[in-house]
Amino acid sequence: MVHNGRPYIIDCSQGVTARHPNARDYLRRDLTNVNKFFKLKGVEVTSTESVMARLSGVV
């Protein structure tokens, strides 16, 4: 991801399949953490719950 010309790398090394019993919890946790990071940088983010709602049929 690039913001204001600076690269940001998001580590996905602990990803799980959508069928994993904890997939939703992990996704919610990761979205919350990514949002927190970018909010501290002054970036406007989409809320975790909004993203979860968009993905509700997928995850």
pLDDT at 58: 61
Task: Give the number of domains in the chain.
Answer: 1
Q: Is residue 59 part of a domain?
A: no
pLDDT at 46: 95
Per-residue model confidence as pLDDT tens digits over 42-58: 999 999 999 999 987 66
pLDDT at 47: 95
Q: Is residue 33 part of a domain?
A: yes
Q: Model confidence at 15, in pLDDT bands (50, 70, 90)?
A: confident
Q: Is residue 29 part of a domain?
A: yes
Q: Is residue 34 part of a domain?
A: yes
Per-residue model confidence as pLDDT tens digits over 25-44: 999 998 999 999 999 999 99
Cα separation, 39 vs 36, in Å, equals 5
Residue range of the domain that includes 34: 2-54
SS (HEC) of the chain: CEECCEECCCCCCCCCCCCCCCHHHHHHHHHHHHHHHHHHCCCCCCCHHHHHHHCCCCC
